[in-house]
């Protein structure tokens, strides 16, 4: 794509999102990618480097992700930056993302399961990286807010002048046009949009992610995995009624659910459970 074409598409994307009163002539495109996954990764890497530079200069400004599925949190480099921001006692990234309340309410680990399922569909499958991401969220290195942004412009703002903007795309899209833009005017307008939606968003309890990770590392989860490793398979009753499990765990069904959500075991309540390759690897490393 020629430079003029990518600028025209960015102007159209921003104009359609409501930035009609902003001078869309005075901006610099620092990086651009077409709807190709590898190209998207290159722009995300440039965004991380720029974000890290603003942190080094102590000029983070307001940091907000407006996203459909909070996929940025699965990026190890971005995760480390968020953890560094927290370590330096700066205001964390606010993450505005879609989480349907009816589907997560009253379900054991519903919020965690919803995120895990969406990340898995996007190709995020490494169990170690999953745990690191969940642990980062549980440590409140980011501030999660639930609001349906799937039909709206998705973007990130930071540093008072930088914005990463995505073209309109279906929620299940694997890649999309992405721009890293330097412009105080564009950053200011997008920040206003994000703050308005944040005021209407529902708070997500990050502590549930911490509880989920702690449960996986608990004695009850280890005991269940050991039983599966030793015997090859076990049904629900054999796992939940195990003497040691009952002694150490007041709610073993919740632990069993965590192991299933994490894909550390296969099976369901009507059949026997067996350990997965990831479950074996986790038990051996824990």
pLDDT tens for 78-116 read 999 999 999 999 999 999 998 777 667 667 798 899 889
Distance CA 275, CA 227 (A): 9
pTM to 2 decimal places? 0.90
* Paired tokens of 71: 């996929």
Q: What is the pLDDT of residue 140?
A: 97
Among the listed ranges 11-15, 21-25, 59-63, 184-188, which one has the minimum average pLDDT value?
21-25
Mean pLDDT of the 263-286 span: 91
> What angle (nearest 5°) sits at the alpha carbon of residue 103, between those of residues 133 and 128?
20
Mean pLDDT of the 58-86 span: 94
Neighbours of 80 (CB within 10 A): 15
Q: What is the pLDDT of residue 7?
A: 87
Q: What is the pLDDT of residue 23?
A: 66
Among the listed ranges 55-64, 117-126, 232-241, which one has the minimum average pLDDT value?
117-126
* Axis crossing angle, helix 277-285 with helix 219-231, rounded to the nearest 10: 120
Domains along the chain?
3-205 (3.30.870.10), 217-285 (1.10.10.10)
Question: pLDDT for 202-230, tens place per residue?
Answer: 899 999 999 999 999 999 999 999 999 99
Q: What is the pLDDT of residue 24?
A: 66
């Amino acid at each position: 794509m020629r430079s003029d074409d990518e600028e025209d598409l960015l102007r159209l994307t921003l104009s359609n999102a409501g930035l009609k009163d902003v001078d869309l002539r005075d901006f610099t495109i620092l990086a651009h990618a077409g709807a190709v996954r590898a190209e998207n990764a290159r722009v995300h890497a440039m965004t991380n480097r720029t974000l890290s530079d603003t942190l080094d200069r102590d000029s983070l400004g307001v940091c907000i992700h407006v996203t459909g599925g909070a996929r940025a949190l699965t990026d190890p480099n971005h995760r480390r930056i968020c953890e560094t921001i927290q370590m330096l006692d700066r205001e964390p990234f606010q993450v505005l993302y879609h989480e349907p309340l009816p589907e997560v309410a009253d379900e054991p680990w519903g919020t965690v399961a919803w995120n895990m399922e969406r990340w898995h569909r996007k190709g995020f499958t490494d169990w170690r990286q999953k745990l690191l991401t969940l642990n980062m969220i549980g440590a409140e290195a980011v501030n999660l807010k639930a609001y349906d942004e799937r039909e709206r412009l998705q973007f990130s703002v930071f540093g008072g002048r930088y914005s990463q903007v995505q073209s309109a795309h279906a929620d299940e899209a694997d890649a999309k046009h992405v721009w890293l833009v330097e412009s105080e005017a564009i950053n200011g307008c997008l920040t206003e949009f994000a703050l308005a939606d944040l005021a209407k968003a529902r708070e997500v309890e990050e502590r549930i992610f911490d509880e989920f990770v702690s449960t996986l590392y608990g004695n009850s989860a280890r005991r269940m995995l050991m039983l599966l490793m030793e015997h090859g398979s076990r049904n629900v009753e054999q796992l939940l009624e195990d003497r040691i499990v009952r002694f150490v765990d007041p709610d073993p069904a919740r632990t069993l659910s965590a192991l299933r959500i994490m894909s550390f075991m296969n099976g369901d309540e009507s059949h026997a459970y067996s350990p997965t390759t990831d479950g074996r690897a986790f038990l051996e490393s824990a």
